[in-house]
C-alpha cells in the first residue's frame, strides 16, 4: 500500500491497445511512448494553503485521468509499475 503526501496522486497507467481502429495489430516496438492516461489508486491529503488550511483534491480513487506525458515519476510497488503525479499535472478527468 502506498499513500502519497500533499497534492500527489498515485496512478496505475493505462496502456493503449496495440490494435488500430481498422483491426491492424501493431508490434510492441511501435508503441514505446510513455502513457498519458491512468486510473487513480491513491490521493494525498491536499496542498497546504498560505492560511494553513488544506485545499481539497480534485480527483479521487477510481477516476480515469489524463496527465502530462513526461511529468510523472515512475515507481514499482509489489512488482507493479505505478506513477506518482502532482495534482497540478493532471489535465482532465475522463468519462
Q: pLDDT for 37-46, tens place per residue?
A: 999 999 999 9
Q: How confident is the model at residue 35 (pLDDT cuts 50, 70, 90)?
A: confident
Give 75's contacts (C-beta < 8 A, 6+ positions apart): 2, 81, 82, 83, 84
What pLDDT is stored for residue 86 in this prediction?
Answer: 96
Please tell me the pTM assigned to this model: 0.79
pLDDT at 31 over 60: no
Give 35's contacts (C-beta < 8 A, 6+ positions apart): 13, 14, 15, 16, 83
- Which CATH superfamily includes the segment(s) 8-18+27-94? GroES chaperonin (2.30.33.40)
Q: pLDDT for 44-68, tens place per residue?
A: 999 999 999 999 999 999 999 999 9
Q: What cell does 91 get?
A: 489535465
Q: What cell does 33 get?
A: 511512448
Least confident of 22-26, 30-34, 48-52, 58-62: 30-34
Q: What cell does 61 get?
A: 480513487
Asked if 8 contacts 84 with a C-beta cutoff of 8 angstroms, the reply is: yes
Amino acid at each position: 500500500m502506498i499513500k502519497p503526501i500533499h497534492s500527489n496522486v498515485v496512478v496505475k497507467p493505462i496502456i493503449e491497445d496495440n490494435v488500430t481502429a481498422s483491426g491492424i495489430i501493431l508490434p510492441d516496438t511501435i508503441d514505446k511512448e510513455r502513457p498519458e492516461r491512468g486510473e487513480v489508486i491513491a490521493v494525498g491529503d491536499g496542498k497546504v494553503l498560505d492560511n494553513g488550511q488544506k485545499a481539497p483534491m480534485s480527483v479521487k480513487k477510481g477516476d480515469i485521468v489524463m496527465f502530462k506525458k513526461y511529468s510523472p515519476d515512475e515507481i514499482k510497488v509489489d512488482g507493479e509499475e505505478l506513477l506518482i503525479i502532482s495534482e497540478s499535472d493532471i489535465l482532465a478527468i475522463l468519462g
